[in-house]
């Protein structure tokens, strides 16, 4: 009974945390770029049509459902940690600072790999309607689209962290950094504006990192650009749009 009570407490707490995090980060990005137009003077718009209020409402509704599902996975992780079943640790000196940084970077790559293959699978005609249609139904994305997942997709995405904490030793700082990076990067990818200079895709670092233009192309063409953080798998498996560098130049300064 105590285990169920603690699980319920964790679940309720994480529902609140995840929803507040979503509205704080996605809402701030939308406010800055779509409401105040403060940053648009030097950003290139990637949109070809105006934002619809109905689209935002649909994205927010799906995101709240996703938050409930993500909170269930977080509650499961914390309950398992309390029972000593996970590989989560709290003393940095146990593995050292080098492992702390290495584990963060390693899990980023593993998550990107996981995301690429499940994301690509969700675009298969058999699975798309059930797993991924909700994320694409509003057309061109806004920051509110960042966590608008169909329930089944949210469940599959949540399984990554649930599985990884049983397999690899991870510090709480690493987990928090991963969640924050994922949230910020996902909102960034769905921003609808490109802030980086036009030389970025030709830079050695720019060739391997995913940003707003890269992901905006995915929302238009569907069959390219499945990665989350890095372009590695897209390039290696030929799902990288050969016109990406050209399309990076497409867009206009907001007036």
Which pLDDT belongs to residue 38? 62
The predicted-structure confidence for 168-207, as pLDDT tens digits, reads as follows 999 999 999 999 999 999 999 999 998 888 777 777 787 8
Rounded-to-integer distance, Cα 177 and Cα 181, Å: 6
Rounded-to-integer distance, Cα 232 and Cα 11, Å: 35
pLDDT in tens, the chain (255 residues): 555 578 999 999 999 999 999 999 999 999 988 887 666 667 788 888 888 899 999 999 999 999 999 999 999 999 999 999 999 999 999 999 999 999 999 999 999 999 999 999 999 999 999 999 999 998 899 999 999 999 999 999 999 999 999 999 999 999 999 999 999 999 999 999 988 887 777 777 878 999 999 999 999 999 999 999 999 999 999 999 988 877 666 554 443
Which pLDDT belongs to residue 43? 78
Strand partners, 253: 44
Taking the model in full, what pTM does it have?
Answer: 0.92
């Amino acid at each position: 009974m105590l285990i169920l009570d603690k699980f319920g407490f964790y679940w309720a707490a994480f529902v609140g945390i995840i929803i507040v995090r979503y509205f704080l980060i996605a809402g701030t990005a939308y406010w800055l770029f779509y409401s105040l137009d403060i940053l648009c003077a030097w950003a290139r718009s990637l949109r070809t049509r105006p934002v619809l209020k109905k689209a935002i409402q649909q994205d927010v509704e799906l995101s709240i459902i996703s938050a409930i599902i993500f909170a269930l996975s977080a509650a499961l992780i914390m309950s398992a940690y309390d029972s000593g079943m996970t590989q989560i640790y709290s003393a940095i000196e146990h593995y050292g600072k080098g492992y702390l940084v290495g584990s963060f970077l390693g899990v980023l790559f593993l998550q990107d790999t996981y995301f690429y293959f499940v994301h690509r699978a969700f675009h298969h005609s058999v699975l798309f309607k059930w797993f991924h249609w909700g994320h694409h139904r509003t057309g061109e994305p806004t920051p509110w689209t960042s966590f608008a997942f169909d329930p089944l997709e949210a469940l599959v995405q949540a399984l990554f962290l649930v599985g990884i904490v049983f397999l690899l030793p991870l510090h709480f700082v690493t987990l928090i950094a991963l969640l924050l990076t994922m949230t910020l990067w996902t909102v960034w990818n769905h921003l609808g504006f490109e802030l980086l200079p036009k030389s970025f895709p030709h830079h050695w670092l720019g060739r391997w990192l995913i940003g707003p233009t890269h992901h905006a192309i995915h929302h238009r063409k569907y069959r390219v650009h499945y990665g989350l953080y890095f372009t590695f798998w897209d390039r290696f498996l030929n799902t990288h749009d050969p016109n990406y560098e050209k399309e990076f130049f497409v867009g206009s300064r907001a007036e």
